[in-house]
Amino acid sequence: MKICVLGMMAVLLAGCGGGSGSTVASNKPAAGKAAPVVRDDAVAAVLESQGSPVGRLSFVIDSRPVMGRPFRVQLIAASSVPLSRLSLSLESDDFAVDAAVTPVALRESGSGTSREYIASQDVTVSARHDGLGELTVHVTGDADAPEGLYVIPVLVAKPVSPG
């Protein structure tokens, strides 16, 4: 588990440069059709539950997390089977989360045998302390589908004091 978390942190740090020139993808639907935002820089969340979960979860953090400053986490859920509903429930001892339970709309992507159902949800969080923290995400679908429990490790920097 520690190796997996360290690998995730290396990928996360590589993608979270402190520069202000990073681009932020909008999750606003285009006129007429609401298409999910799929990002090439998404990182897979760590699956903690046993069995086959209802879907997969990945995430994107656009800016370097700093203690006490809100930052955006884009959650991207994907399933290979159509579902009538999908909900993301977030909890953490390390972060203040702006949404506890969020139902998301799944959109079909791909065609033929490579068809997937994808949903994207932006969540704003704020770190309570610096160092390594975890966001726990419960991914649930239809009543008979197993829940997926995922962990997102986040390395949070200390705020830079002016002077």
The CATH architecture of the domain made up of 2-17+41-156 is Sandwich (2.60)
pLDDT digits 0-9 by tens, 20-40? 333 233 333 333 334 445 667
Q: What is the DSSP letter of 55?
A: S
pLDDT digits 0-9 by tens, 97-142? 876 556 677 787 777 677 788 888 888 999 999 999 999 998 888 7
**Nearest C-alpha neighbor of 74 from the set 4, 25, 143, 147:** 25
The answer to whether 70 and 123 have CB atoms below 8 angstroms apart is no
The answer to whether 8 and 43 have CB atoms below 8 angstroms apart is yes
**Per-domain boundaries in the chain:** 2-17+41-156
